[in-house]
Amino acid sequence: MTNEKLSIPSQVFKWFEKMKSNYERNIVSVLDRFERTTKEQQKRVDDLHLSAMENLSDSHEALVNSQQQQIEQLKKDIHFYQTQVSQQQQMIDQLNQRYDTVIAKLFIDSNSSNTLKDIEDVVTKPTFDDKDNEQSFITKLLNEATEPVPQNQNSRENKSNIEDYFQQAMLHREQKEYTQAVEYFEKAAELKHAKAMGALGRAYFLAEGVDENPVMGLHWLIKAAEHGLPQAQARVDFYKENEPDLYYLATST
């Protein structure tokens, strides 16, 4: 009886010890599991942070590259528009030059009765019935020189050569051989032939045998006027009053 009473507390104590041991193992297990969970969670957090940093770095690099590409494109656009502006300015200069040429032509065409066509009438090659009349006409032209020269054999030969250049030029122009005509007009003009100077000015205005050049055209008209060609003087006076810029360029050539 007594022994049975003593065994009950002992069993309770053993049970308590067992429960304590189980409890401690459970605590340790929970702590271990908590620690593993914490480490895993921290690893996930660290991985997320690392991924976010990598994404930010990639985004930043992509943004920098995009901005760099935009800068390069802007540079190309600036170069393109600068080229366009330069080309437009060149076109404007060409149009201004053409405008001056058109104005000069319009003036010539609108005054057909009293313009370069008058010079054309003066310098048109005449028709002769015989050699005597032709020689008489040549002699008359030579007598119209602005400055008289001694009538020796050499001067007569020089005048004959000058007039021959002029007549050759007129013949080529009548046959629409403008390049050859200009060559002979230039030879005669360089030897102070007033009508050749006027005809050469006409060639530059109308682009006959040379590139169209109003400045050179007016330059030769001024030369012709200085050597006594009245039709050229009328044209020079007009340009001097109405086209002072063109007149200035022509006198500076």
| pLDDT for the residue 212 | 94
| pLDDT for the residue 31 | 87
Tokens of 77: 């656009």
Q: Give the model confidence (pLDDT) of 11-32 as tens digits.
A: 777 787 788 788 888 888 888 8
For residues 155-178, give the mean pLDDT: 85
| 16-20, 83-87, 111-115: least confident range | 111-115
| pLDDT for the residue 153 | 41
Show me where the domains of the chain are located.
Answer: 1-96, 111-252
Class of domain 111-252: mainly alpha
| pLDDT for the residue 96 | 64
For residues 38-47, give the mean pLDDT: 88
